[in-house]
Amino acid sequence: MSELELTLDDVRRGMIPAHIYNDREIFELEKERLFGRSWQFVAHESEVPQSGDYVVRRVLEDSFIISRDDQGEVRAMFNMCLHRGMQVCRAEMGNATHFRCPYHGWSYRNDGRLVGLPFHREAYGGEAGFSRKGQTLLPSPSLGTYNGMIFISLDPEAPPLDEFLGDFAFYLDYYTKQSPSGIELRGPQRWRIKANWKIGAENFAGDMYHTPQTHMSVVEIGLFREPKAERRKDGSTYWAGKGGGTTYKLPEGTFEERLRYVGYPDAMIDRMRATWSADQCAVVGDSGFMISAASLFPNLSFVHNWPRVEDSDDVLPFISIRSWQPISENETEVVSWFAVDKEAPEDFKAKSYKAYLMCFGSTGMFEQDDVENWVSLTSTAAGSMARRLRLNSRMGMLADGSAVVEPLSGDEFAGPGVAHVGYGEYNQRHLLDEWANHLERPVTKSAGVEFGATKVEVGS
C-alpha cells in the first residue's frame, strides 16, 4: 500500500493520522482532487440584488466576479484578464456596467463579454485582425443555486447541485428559508486563522462534545441561557446527503412554544409553519430538536444559536454561514456572514445581528474559544511526532465498530438521514470519509480541471 492509501485507510477506521492537519503534500492533493471538483458556496443572491451588482469571491487561489448582468442573470466569471492575466476587478463589491482591466485597459461588460480594447485598430488591426466577438471572461465551469445560495464548481462535470446536496437540503431550509422570501446576508467578515481548514468543518459538523469544556466561560458569564452546556448530550446529531449537524433537545411544548423558547417572535413562527414541510415542522414540534451547527462537505458551515443579548432572561436567535477557505495547509480564511430572514421585523434583525457579533464573527466569544484549540492542534500536527500518532475519532462506536447507541427511529426523529442522540463523532467520520473518497480519485482530463468550454482565439 502506498503512504496515501495507508493514510486513507486509517481515516476510514476513525483513526486519523495527525499530520493530515498540517501537511503540504496532503494540501496539494486536496487542492487538485477535492477543491478542484467540489461545490463551493460563493455568495447569496441577496448580495447582488440589482443589475450590475457584483461581489468578488475566491475558491482557493481562483478569484471570481459574481455579478448580476443587465438581463438579471447571476454569473460567476473568472477574474483574470484575457490579455496578460491581470485581476480585472480589484474592488470587493460594487455596482458596474463594465469592468476595466487596470493593466492595459481591456474592458468587459458585466456579463463577461470583452467590449473594449485600447488602440484596437492600431495594435490589433481592428475587428478584422482580432474580433471581440465570443471573447468573454472564463465562466465558472459549473454554477448552481439553492434558496438563493450561489455555488460554483471548478469541475465542468460536477453532479448537479441538487443531487450533490441530497437530503441535506432539508436541513439547509432551517437556516436559509424561514419564509418564502428567504434570507438576506450581512458581511462577510473575513479574517485568517493559523489553522487547517478541515478542523472548523469537522467541529461544526458534529462536535457537541467540546461545548461543556471549551465554552465553559460563555456559560459562566451568562451569555448562554441553556442552563448547562453539558445538556448538549441530550441533543442529537444527524447526517444526510453531503452534510450533517447538531441539535439541542427542546423542553416539552408545541412547535410554536418551542420556537418561542429560542426567541422567535410569533409572526416569524407563523411563516416558518407555512414555509416548511410537515416533516421539517415535525423535527421541531414532534421530535423536539432545534438545529444548531452544521457542515456541508467540504468546507461550508452553519450555526444557529440563541444567546441572551440583554440583561434579561430573553434569548434571541441568530444564524451565521461560514466558509473555511484554505490558504495553505496551516492557514484558513474564515468568511463569515450573518443571515436573517428577509421578512423578520427590523428590531429582530438588529438584535439578531448583535447576538451573532457577541457569539461568532471576529468579535465572537465562541469563535475565540474555538480557534485557540484549532491553532494549537494545527501547529503541533506539523511536527515529526504527529506522524506517529493516530487521533481517535471513533466516539459513538464500540471496539468492534458497532454503535454505542442505536440511531433514532423515524418516530423519534422526523428528518431524513441518520440521527443519534448524544455524543459521537459520526459526522466528523462522514466528512473525512468523503474527503478520503476525493483524495483517492486521481483527476483525469475528463474530470476536467481543464477549461474546455471557452476557447480564447487570439488572431494569428
Tell me if 211 sits within 8 A of 366, measured CB to CB: no
Tell me if 237 sits within 8 A of 247, measured CB to CB: yes
Interface stretch with ligand FES, choices 96-104, 343-351, 373-381, 384-392 (CB under 6 A): 96-104
Closest CA to 289 of 414, 189, 389, 124: 414
Segment 19 to 58, residues that bind Fe ion, using CB under 5 A: none
Ramachandran angles phi, psi of 150, nearest 5°? -95, 120
> Residue 290 in 3-state DSSP?
strand
C-alpha–C-alpha distance, residues 98 and 276, integer Å? 40
Give whichever of 66 and 117 is closer to ligand FES, judged by the CB atom.
Answer: 117
Please, what sign has the CA dihedral across residues 191, 57, 142, 320? positive
C-alpha dihedral, 184 to 353 to 214 to 12, nearest 10°: 0
Tell me if 152 sits within 8 A of 140, measured CB to CB: yes
Residue 370 contact among Fe ion, ligand FES, none, beta carbon within 5 to 8 Å by kind: Fe ion
Residue where the block lists cell 471557452:
454
119 is a contact residue toward ligand FES (CB under 6 A): no
Give whichever of 45 and 370 is closer to Fe ion, judged by the CB atom.
Answer: 370
Residue 104 contact among ligand FES, Fe ion, none, beta carbon within 5 to 8 Å by kind: ligand FES
Considering only 101, 137, 152, 195, the residue that binds ligand FES (CB under 6 A) is 101
Q: How far is the CB of 126 from ligand FES (least distance, A)?
A: 17
Give whichever of 171 and 374 is closer to Fe ion, judged by the CB atom.
Answer: 374
Give whichever of 86 and 443 is closer to ligand FES, judged by the CB atom.
Answer: 86
Q: Name the H helices within 63-140.
A: 120-124, 126-129
- Number of residues near ligand FES (by CB under 6 A): 9
Give whichever of 48 and 138 is closer to ligand FES, judged by the CB atom.
Answer: 138
**DSSP labels, 390-456:** EEE--TTB-TTS-BSSPPPPTTT--SSSEEEES---HHHHHHHHHHHHHHTSPPPTTT-SS--S---
C-alpha–C-alpha distance, residues 117 and 232, integer Å? 61
Q: How far is the CB of 130 from ligand FES (least distance, A)?
A: 13
Give whichever of 211 and 280 is closer to Fe ion, judged by the CB atom.
Answer: 211
Give whichever of 84 and 388 is closer to ligand FES, judged by the CB atom.
Answer: 84
Quote the cell numbers at residue 255: 412547535
Q: Give the per-residue contact string, 352-371, with Fe ion (x = CB under 5 A; - = no).
A: ------------------x-
106 is a contact residue toward ligand FES (CB under 6 A): yes
Interface stretch with ligand FES, choices 104-112, 200-208, 386-394, 426-434 (CB under 6 A): 104-112
Considering only 24, 84, 121, 387, the residue that binds ligand FES (CB under 6 A) is 84
HSE at residue 245, side-chain half, CA atoms within 13 A, is 26
Considering only 6, 25, 98, 105, the residue that binds ligand FES (CB under 6 A) is 105
83 is a contact residue toward ligand FES (CB under 6 A): yes
Give whichever of 333 and 370 is closer to Fe ion, judged by the CB atom.
Answer: 370
Query: What is the binding site for Fe ion (CB under 5 A)?
Result: 370
Query: What is the binding site for ligand FES (CB under 6 A)?
Result: 81, 83-84, 86, 101, 103-106
